[in-house]
Amino acid sequence: MPATAITLQETNVSVATQTEHKWLNNKYPGYTLKSKAMVTDSGKYLDRFSILTKDGQQQNIYFDITQCYACSVSHLKDMFNKQQESDKTSQAE
Q: What is the pLDDT of residues 67-90, one digit of tens each?
A: 887 765 555 566 666 666 766 666
Q: What is the pLDDT of residues 3-61, one digit of tens each?
A: 789 999 888 888 899 999 999 999 999 999 999 999 988 888 899 999 999 999 999 99
58-64/32-41 β-pairing: unpaired
Cα–Cα distance, 33 to 29 (Å, whole number): 11
Give the per-residue pLDDT at 80.
63
Give the per-residue pLDDT at 13.
83
Is 27 domain-assigned?
Answer: yes
Q: How many domains does the chain have?
A: 1
Is-contact 28 53, C-beta < 8 A? yes
How does residue 93 score in pLDDT terms, banded at 50, 70 and 90?
Answer: low
Is 55 domain-assigned?
Answer: yes
Q: What is the pTM of this model?
A: 0.72
Is 93 domain-assigned?
Answer: no
Domain carrying residue 68: 6-84
Is 90 domain-assigned?
Answer: no
Is-contact 65 45, C-beta < 8 A? yes
58-64/6-7 β-pairing: parallel
Query: How far is Cα of residue 83 from the mean position of the Cα atoms in its chain?
Result: 26
